[in-house]
């Protein structure tokens, strides 16, 4: 089998669109009922210091509909809390911040 440096057009279909520089123009909603994106949820958590799904719902509305997104909101909250804990354990005076 001979390997080519020039991939065939069919091989290009195997490359994920993000690696080709394409982005999906449609927003990816974390909360579809209220059309709130994950970025909006992260921003609301950071600004309002929300620690619960209810706090996120009060801050940006996400989670106030059918509740299917609650597990995703909990994941975002856990990630944000882990990041805060990691930053607290990494003193800036050591140059790791």
Q: Is the pLDDT assigned to residue 4 strictly greater than 50?
A: no
Locate the domains of the chain by residue range.
26-89
Predicted TM-score (pTM) above 0.85: no
Q: DSSP letter string over 6-51?
A: S--HHHHTTS-GGGGT---SS--EEETTTTEEHHHHHHHHHHH---
Q: Residue 77 CB: number of other CB atoms within 10 A?
A: 19
Better pLDDT: 79 or 11: 79
pLDDT tens, residue by residue, 40-84: 999 999 999 999 999 999 999 999 999 999 999 999 999 999 998
Q: What number does CATH give the domain 26-89? A: 1.10.10.1100
Residue 96: per-residue pLDDT = 53
Residue 92: per-residue pLDDT = 58
């Amino acid at each position: 089998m001979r390997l080519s440096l020039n991939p065939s057009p069919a091989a290009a279909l195997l490359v994920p669109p993000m690696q080709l520089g394409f982005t999906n123009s449609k927003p990816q909603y974390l909360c579809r009922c209220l059309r709130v994106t994950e970025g909006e949820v992260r921003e609301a958590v950071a600004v309002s210091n929300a620690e619960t799904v209810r706090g996120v719902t009060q801050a940006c509305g996400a989670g106030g509909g059918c509740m299917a997104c609650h597990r995703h909101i909990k994941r975002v909250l856990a990630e944000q809390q882990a990041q805060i804990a990691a930053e607290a354990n990494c003193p800036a005076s050591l140059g790791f911040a």
